[in-house]
Amino acid sequence: MFINESVFKRLIKKAYGAGRLHIYMNKLGWVYIGGGYWNIQIPRKSMTNKMLASLIEIIGELPKYEEAFTYSKEETQELMPSYFSDIFEAYDEYTDAFSPTRLLMHTSRADLAIWQRMSGDPVKVLLPSYANDIIDTTHIEGGKNYPEAPKGQRDRAHCLIWRNNNMALQIICINTEYKGERDLMTKLNESDLAWTETSDDSIG
């Protein structure tokens, strides 16, 4: 597992409060957890005790095999398993790796993280700011199976997917709503914002 447990708990609580916490377990024991702008796919046996405790605190118990539900404060609604897509397999279809830049965009809606394609034209995408904090490799035994660099589609990345041998994370990209934001992103696409250290990087 490579998810920061504190960030995960915050995200599922927010999704539950908004009535969009979606959870499904397939017949092979893979658990699908979604919350609007993010989705996780992980085997039940690979979930940490803290991750399970955070879920059970909110929903009571995980769905049984081939059960799927949307959870909210008001009610629990049954979902069709077909609502969930296999993001673990989808990773193989994506070609372009992305990495974070050192910039955030502060908007009236939220703070958004700016990520950049690692090769070719330095195309940028906007992600919820938690994208910069959600990866945590402390639970990966022996330093093995670190998640691969997140990938998006070449033509137009609508999401990024992280994956290792037994887990996948998808975060949906944010579309800019206002002309000024779109103009800014167009300008940023002309600049390479990859992290490179220089002698002038220090502040003060």
pLDDT in tens, the chain (204 residues): 789 999 999 999 999 999 999 999 999 999 999 998 999 999 999 999 999 999 999 999 999 999 999 999 999 999 999 999 999 999 999 999 999 999 999 888 789 999 999 988 888 999 999 999 999 887 766 556 788 889 998 666 689 999 998 899 999 999 877 788 888 888 888 888 886 655 555 444
> Which amino acid makes up residue 1?
M
In this prediction, residue 1 carries a pLDDT of 79
pLDDT value at residue 26: 96
Q: Is the dihedral of CA 69, 45, 168, 49 positive or negative?
A: positive
Exposed/middle/buried for residue 113 (C-beta within 10 Å: 0-12, 13-18, 19+): buried
Residue 143 token pair: 């330093």
The whole-model pTM stands at: 0.88
For helices 5-17 and 49-59, give the axis angle rounded to 10 degrees.
Answer: 10
pLDDT at 167: 93
Q: Give residue for tokens 């093995």.
A: 144
Would you call 59 exposed, middle or buried from its count of C-beta atoms within 10 A (0-12, 13-18, 19+)?
Answer: middle
What gap in Å lies between CA 177 and CA 9, rounded to an integer?
Answer: 29
Cβ–Cβ contacts within 10 Å for residue 70, how many? Answer: 19
Q: What is the pLDDT of residue 107?
A: 84
